[in-house]
Structure 1
Amino acid sequence: MKRLLTLILDGEIEQGFDATLEIRQGDLHSPSQTRIKGRLSGNRDLLNCYRHWQQRYLSLEMLFRALSANPEQVTNSSQRGEAFAACRRAAEVLEGSLNHWLNTDLEFRSIRDKLLRSGKKFQLLLQTNNPWLRRFPWHRWDLLAEAQADVALSAIEYDCPNPLNRQPTPKGKVKILAILGQGANLNQQADQQALEELAGKAGAQITWRQEPQASELNQQLWEQGWDILFFAGHSGTSQEGQRGEIQLNQTERLTIDDLRFALKKAIGRRPRYANARGLQLAIFNSCDGLGLAYQLAAQQDLYLPQVIVMAEKVPDPVSPKFLRYFLEAYIHPGLTRGC
């Protein structure tokens, strides 16, 4: 079993962060074996590096959208090369700034040294309420990259259900509700057929819904048992990072609050919903989904074990590729429930 290391960073990017590292042998329900305190100084320059990279990345996205809309509109290959190079340079500067911050801050040394001694392939859970820290490329911290550590995000405050009250993983095929919202690039029959064949090999069954009405989505979540909810399409996050929306169809945009009661039934943690199968995972394969993750974490009575979102805008062709790679890695007919 991998060791779980929890890094709690509480503060603001300008003033700095109080840091706590907790080490457990197992999941979040296991008692903490080690707790180390430290601090990270404020770093406005790192935030500026991130914003500069994001501008270059968005410029690259707009260039490719122009190419997709009119292949003859952009014909200068040097322009495309320059856009790639500018984005790559900005990414390297951002990565270097992040590593310098985490590796040279003296008050953070005790935590960094403990991470260095934690061996290979541990799991790191970053708990923070700061929207900028959630956007930084933590997987590019050389310490974590060398250790082949898995990195996930969590809010600082959370309410986790008693593991003794968890429902067993349902038998039979894992059921996936795949919602193709406005802008989804999964509407080709060949893509869906290939993904369904792959899902069958992984012990899963996909039900597709193309740009459903909000009432239909709520009904699907309310009346049937699902193990995984998958959404592909347009989405976005508010500037403060605390609110997300999905573009369900041409006329309807939904937040997590709009789906709260249906999700509560689908998750089925409460005795009131004892007949529900129990939603285990939600995947939002859509642009800028951190606001969606924040809202799910803020709804402390939902108890959804895992959420996968995209931190930035993603090109349309990523949707089918991501689901394909996910299903290829999805070997077992169930997911381990965790919190």
Structure 2
Amino acid sequence: MPLKISLKIGGRVQITNREVLPVTLAIFDQAGQIAELVSYLAPLPRPLAEKFQQWQYYIGLQGNRRVAKNRGNLLSGVVNLSELASALKSELNKWLGEDGWIDDKGQSDPRVILLLEKLRTKITQDEEVQIIVQTEDRQLRGLPWQEWDVLTGYTRKGVEVAISATNFQRLTQKPTPQLRATARILVVFGDEQLDFREEEEFITNLKRYGGEPHILRQPTYQELEQKLKDPQGWHIFFFAGHSESDRNGRIGWIQINPSQGQEGIVEIGQLKDLLVGVINQKLQLAIFNSCDGLGLANQLTELSLPYCIVMREMVESSVARELLRHFLIAFVKDNSLFTAMNIARQQLQHKFEPGKSWLPVIVANPLAPELTWNHLFSERRLSWQWEAVLGIIAIAILICLPLSVFTEFPSWETFIFYTQLYPHLIVYPSLFLWISLFSSYKAHCMIRVKTRLFMTLTALTVLFTIGALFFELSGDRIMLLEFKTDAITTISAPQLPSLYNKWQTSASKIKSIPPEIFDASQAFDQEGNLTLKKTALESALERMHTIEDIRELQGLFRIATTYDIWKGNTQAFSISRWFYALTFVAIVGCGVQIFALVGIILFVPDAIFNKNKYLTYLVMCELGILLWIPFQGYSVEYIKSLLFSYEFRGVLAGLNILIYGLIALLFSTTVSSIYKSATKTYRPILLIFLLVSLLLTLLMGVFGFEQINRLFGMGSTDPLTPWFATTIFLIPLFFLLVHLIDLGINNE
């Protein structure tokens, strides 16, 4: 939170027989108010008032965005605007200097200057300082307070001063999650003769950052009214054209359509009821790139609009245009509204004569929360009805395979047997995969812009998953649950030699298997054809532990699970095979899209509006997938090595080295993303979370295979109890964590 300084200036009062302005100075940091004092200022001295009026007038001569009116007679003589601005600044600092402050006894009061100078020594050059001057006086509102010397050099970022009324109230806006996470901007161009092509280009460019501009060109009152009624609401209202305020800065007008004469001039009060609804819904900021907007801002802040940017006086188009350009460039980089305005003001100082950079000012509600571009966004979510449908689909994906196995095969013992054989497919999804699925959805809710990279990575994820599924379903080492109970296939004698050669076995080795394990005499017929029945293979698998040398039986299983011998007999495949395919897609797709999520935060972080929360869900998604590694390791180390070959064992066996390589890549890119995009205060928490997840995965990779075997695998007598108990324990714990994340994790 930035350091905030409030200067509340009241109406004239008398002390010790002199007229003064009471001023309450209050200073706030993240913990709350840290200092307050009451002092007094003399009313605006005559030299300052005269210089201010002269500056107003000569600035006004160059303005071309004011509602057309007679400006009166011009003053004679040539005026140097630079000298006038310098003189005004000098008079301002005389008034606000040590001698300008008065205590309640009418004596000089140095406390204000001393407090502000003392504060300068306590803040760092990187801190942001925001000052709000609260006053009802039109002249005081128009002064360039940021030119007060005591504020100069406070921080490297500079000091930005906003103005405010003395009466205001807090506005509570509840952001509503929506399917499309965009910052909706209502743009009104009031006079096309001013040539708004550049402004339109600046605003249209906001689409790259999640902006959704809707442009009205010289609308009628009815068209503007209809647009304001849009049920989706607006985050920003932008007007460019002619405007004007009354002399007291209390009431403002905008000219939305010059061709309609008086009907094309709208006083803000006419739109009061509509604007109240828009503000209560989501409107955060109004920008009037037009002349003399203090009256406009005054009326809007009375309606509790959080922030407004207006021009203090009349303004020429080039100044208004450059302000908008540099403000938007800074604002979409997630600088605060104050910092973005300060950056834009500095650019105006470089390009235009002194004094012109004083024209724009923020009019703020002091109770409004800090505004950044990212604060305009809420989570991109489906409606609760569609979320419920999505949740049902996700649950169906998680439990479809165990339900299919349970209903398709004849006995409870078969279900237990397949659970022990394939816990990486039957147990893991309902145990841990849902963590990744839910976290992935929540991370996607943080993506506000579907960039080209996002679409490309999504397409690659889909293509890779489809390709992996094709190779998985057409590959060898088919699982027993992929066959119907009565599945049977016959391998002709001419086919067998190539299979023997491929899988390094022979007919004699198969026939040497003890008949109580596998009866080869029943499998081979007189012509040498080999008939394989699923029931015989399952029976052999259940009795494998009774013999010492299982190499011949492994050769049989290598042949029996070859895809080529079954592909012509599709009727032998079970329904569970297709649910296995769905489970495979869920696991692989979720795993691959993690790299897409990392790629987005790494290369286009501006596409994400809450990077801290996004990274948190990214790490949780990674954890859910990483917990699949020990289950897959059990499948390789215990099941595949038992059925097919002991060569599957070892850290570097099979695809293990590839898996660990991908983990290393994922870890390094995630660390890089955290350092690049997480805020400084939250970065250590994320790094610890990621490191713990990685260590947990590595420990389970070393010690977890045996634990999974004992709990869910062939070494377990009852895999269902730990399966259900762990799931029931994890679900409420996880969603409690999600609730805390949603409540507590912000961008700042």
Deviations 1:152-187 (A, max 9, x none): 11111111135xx64368661211111001367344
Q: Structure 1 CA distance, aligned partners of 2:115 and 2:20?
A: 21
3-state DSSP class of the match of 1:292?
helix
Does 2:266 align with 1:254? yes
SS for the counterpart of 1:239 is coil
Picking from 173, 189, 194, the partner of 2:182 is 173
Change in Cα spacing, 1:146 to 1:232, as seen in structure 2 (3 Å) is: same
Match of 1:9 in 2: 9
Give the conservation status (yes or no) of the 8 Å contact 2:12–2:22.
Answer: no
Q: Which one-letter code corresponds to 2:190 in the other structure?
A: G
Identity among equivalent pairs (%): 30
Q: Specify whether residues 175 and 184 from structure 1 end up closer, same or farther in structure 2 by C-alpha distance, changes over 3 A only.
A: farther
Q: What TM-score does the superposition give when structure 1 sets the normalisation length?
A: 0.80
Match of residue 57 from structure 1? 59
Query: Does the CA contact (< 8 Å) of 1:198 and 1:328 recur in 2?
Result: no
Deviations 1:263-302 (A, max 9, x none): 11212x2xxxxxx4x111101111000011111223xxx3
**Out of 67, 83, 100, which is 1:105 matched to?**
100
| Alpha-carbon shift at residue 16 of structure 1 (Å) | 2.8
Q: Structure 2: which amino acid aligns with 1:51?
A: Q
1:55 CA drift (Å): 2.5
Match of 1:65 in 2: none
Q: Distance between the aligned counterparts of 2:215 and 2:285, measured in 1?
A: 17
Instruction: Look up the equivalent residue of 2:186 and give its one-letter code.
Output: L
Q: Which sections of structure 1, spanning at least 5 residues, go unmatched?
A: 63-81, 270-275
Structure 2: state its 5+ residue gaps.
65-76, 103-108, 335-372, 378-748
Partners of 2:167 and 2:193 in 1: how far apart?
33
Structure 1 residues 176 and 91 mapped into 2: Cα distance closer, same or farther (>3 Å)?
same
**Distance in structure 1 (CA, Å) of the matches to 2:307 and 2:84:** 31
Superposed CA offset, 1:115-137 (max 9, x none)? 22222532111111111100011
The answer to whether the Cα contact below 8 Å between 1:99 and 1:141 also exists between their aligned partners in 2 is yes
- Residues 184 and 44 from structure 1, CA distance in 2 versus in 1: closer, same or farther, beyond 3 angstroms? farther
Q: Provide the secondary structure at the position in 2 that maps to 1:117.
A: helix
Which residue identity is paired with 1:11? G
SS at match of 2:286: strand
Query: 342, 354, 374: which one pairs with 1:334?
Result: 374
Shift of 1:229: 0.3
Report the counterpart of residue 166 of structure 2 in structure 1: 156
Mapped to 1, the partners of 2:34 and 2:325 lie a distance apart of 38
What TM-score do the two structures reach when normalised by structure 2?
0.38
Q: Which residue number in structure 1 is paired with residue 324 of structure 2?
A: 323
Letter in 2 for 1:5: I
**Equivalent residue pairs, number:** 299
Q: Aligned letter for 2:284?
A: Q
In 1, Cα distance between the equivalents of 2:241 and 2:226? 20
Once superposed, what is the RMSD of the aligned Cα atoms? 2.5
d(CA) in 2 for partners of 1:111, 1:279:
36
Contact in 1 for aligned 2:190/2:256 (Cα 8 Å): yes
Residues 289 and 106 (structure 1), Cα distance of their counterparts in 2 relative to 1, 3 Å cut:
closer
- The verdict on how the C-alpha distance between 1:117 and 1:334 changes in structure 2, with shifts beyond 3 A counting, is same
The 8 Å contact of residues 198 and 324 in structure 1, kept in 2 or not, is answered as no
Q: Deviations along 1:6-37, whole A, 9 cap, x unmatched?
A: 111112499331011111124xxx74332101
Cα offset, 1:320, TM superposition = 3.4
Per the alignment, residue 185 of structure 1 pairs with 194
Match of 2:131 among 115, 119, 124: 124
| Offset, 1:192 | 5.7
With over 3 angstroms needed to count, the CA separation of the structure-2 counterparts of 1:331 and 1:169, relative to structure 1, is: farther
* Match for residue 94 of structure 1 among 85, 88, 97: 88
Given residue 317 of structure 1, which amino acid in structure 2 is its aligned partner? S
Structure (1/2) with the larger strand percentage = 1
Distance 1:185 1:215, change over 3 A: same
Equivalent pair of 1:245/1:292 in contact (CA under 8 Å): yes
Structure 1 residue 193 displacement after superposition:
6.1
In 1, the alpha carbon distance for the partners of 2:52 and 2:9 equals 18
Q: Residue 10 of structure 2 aligns to a residue in which SS?
A: strand
Residue in structure 2 matching 1:287, options 270, 277, 291: 291
Question: Given the alignment of the two structures, is residue 216 of structure 1 paired with residue 223 of structure 2, yes or no?
Answer: yes
After TM superposition, the structure 1 = structure 2 runs for residues 272-311 of structure 1, keeping only pairs within 5 Å, are 276=281, 278-298=282-302, 302-311=303-312
